[in-house]
RNA sequence: GGCGCGAUAGCCAAGCGGUUAGGCAGAGGACUGCAAAUCCUUUUAGAUCAGUUCGACUCUGAUUCGCGCCU
């Protein structure tokens, strides 16, 4: 078997373990499709594959930047390109946007200009809306400054807005799915383990190494709350609780994105399943559906 | 035992004799270079029983439970 095979799914569904297992078994390379695993040193809170696991399988898409740097989806495409040489490649991760890039491509648009972005971010929402109104442009989501700003960046530099992935024919994507209640239990357990494994200490060390973090790294689930503990703003117990809640909310949004953007082949999991059992099901889906048809980038 | 205060949704918490409290959590949705981000929508009430009233979560009484004080 050759080619690229994908496995999506919400956080804490066990994607990584399943794909690690399959990669070891089949001699594949792994590409992480995750916007947080790119941060060097953010290991415990992102549930990054261990050094041992990484020695057994070639990995791409990990540790691309420091927490002080700003990452971007365009930048992730570099990791994708690096992994091209592998004859058999498995891609897994929780960032649905990256699967969109992989399967649907990226319409031409100007890269982010940090000065222009900062200028737009300083504007009130009403001003952003007014500027779009001047250009007779309406977005679906006129309350969302993020999207208004990006639209203005593209328009003000002479580009035209992408048509939208959601409106195009959906592409197939396999994903793991747990009953919500079980997933919530898995999330709670995982967060507690992160604290037992030293998330606070890791955060403290990273803050020493990098006093200023990029906005995205700063907001990373687990690290934001651990930082609040270190600053004495919340207790450890409160931070654990808040991290669990934010992770649950992330998982819900991840599933919503997959449902909305892809024709998902859901691979159902239950509490009695082991990693090899789920891996077998994933492999069966991959064999049946064939290698992913990637967009030409 | 007596007196007082309280009881509102999974949690916190208001006003009101008739028209949506609100927040959090949960659920659904959007998404093209920050995505673990950003934004939109939204279910679930009035401890129990009786009374007053056209109409009670709101007023009255009893009961139950909780808290405080007294003996």
Q: Is A154's CB less than 7 Å from nucleic acid strand B?
A: yes
In the predicted model, what is the mean pLDDT of residues A77-98?
96
Residue A215 to residue A69: CA distance in whole angstroms: 9
pLDDT digits (tens, 9 = 90+) for A90-138: 999 999 999 999 999 999 999 999 999 999 999 999 999 999 999 998 8
Does position A297 have pLDDT exceeding 70, yes or no? no
Q: Is nucleic acid strand B under 7 Å from A162's C-beta? A: yes
pLDDT at A177 over 80: yes
Sign of the Cα pseudo-torsion (A146, A150, A151, A155, in order): positive
The pair of structure tokens assigned to A169 is 């024919």
Mean pLDDT of A235-264: 96
Rounded mean pLDDT, A209-215: 96
Establish whether the CB of A227 is closer than 7 Å to any nucleic acid atom in strand B: no
Q: Is the CB of A116 under 7 A from strand B?
A: no
Measured from the CB, is A145 under 7 Å from any atom of strand B? yes
Return the ∠ at Cα A161 (arms to A158 and A167), rounded to 5°: 165
Which nucleotides of strand B lie under 7 Å from a protein CB? Answer: 24-40
CA-to-C1' distance for A232 and B22, Å? 29
State the pLDDT confidence band at A166, using cuts at 50, 70 and 90: confident
Any strand B atom closer than 7 Å to A97 CB? yes
* pLDDT value at A241 more than 80: yes
pTM of the model: 0.93
Among A220, A182, A212, residue whose Cα is nearest residue A34? A220
For the segment A70-98, the average pLDDT, to the nearest whole number, is 96
Nearest protein residue to nucleotide B38, judged by CA and C1' positions: A146
Does the nearest atom of strand B lie within 7 Å of A210's Cβ?
A: no
In percent, how much of chain A has pLDDT > 90? 92
């Amino acid at each position: 078997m050759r080619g690229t095979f994908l496995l999506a799914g919400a956080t804490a569904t066990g994607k990584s373990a399943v794909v690690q297992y399959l990669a070891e078994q089949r001699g594949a390379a792994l590409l992480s499709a995750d916007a947080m695993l790119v941060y060097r040193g953010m290991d415990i809170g992102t549930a990054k594959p261990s050094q041992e696991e990484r020695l057994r399988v070639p990995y791409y898409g990990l540790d691309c930047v420091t927490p002080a740097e700003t990452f971007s989806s365009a930048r992730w495409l570099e990791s994708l390109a690096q992994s091209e040489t592998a004859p058999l490649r498995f891609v897994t991760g929780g960032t649905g946007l990256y699967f969109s890039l992989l399967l649907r491509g990226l319409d031409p648009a100007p890269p982010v200009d940090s000065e222009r972005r900062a200028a737009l971010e300083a504007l009130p929402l009403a001003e952003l809306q007014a500027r779009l109104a001047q250009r007779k442009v309406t977005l679906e989501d006129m309350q969302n400054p993020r999207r208004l700003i990006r639209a203005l960046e593209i328009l003000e530099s002479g580009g035209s807005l992408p048509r939208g992935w959601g409106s195009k024919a959906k592409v197939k994507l396999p994903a793991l799915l747990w009953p919500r209640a079980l997933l919530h239990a898995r999330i709670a357990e995982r967060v507690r383990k992160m604290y037992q494994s030293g998330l606070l200490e890791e955060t403290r060390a990273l803050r020493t190494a990098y006093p200023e973090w990029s906005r995205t790294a700063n907001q990373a689930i687990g690290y934001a709350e651990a930082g609040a503990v270190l600053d004495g703003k919340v207790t450890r117990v409160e931070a654990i609780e808040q991290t669990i809640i934010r992770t649950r909310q992330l998982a819900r949004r991840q599933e919503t994105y997959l449902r909305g953007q892809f024709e998902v082949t859901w691979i159902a999991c239950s509490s009695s399943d082991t990693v090899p059992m789920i891996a077998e099901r994933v492999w069966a889906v991959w064999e049946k559906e064939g290698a992913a048809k990637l967009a030409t980038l």
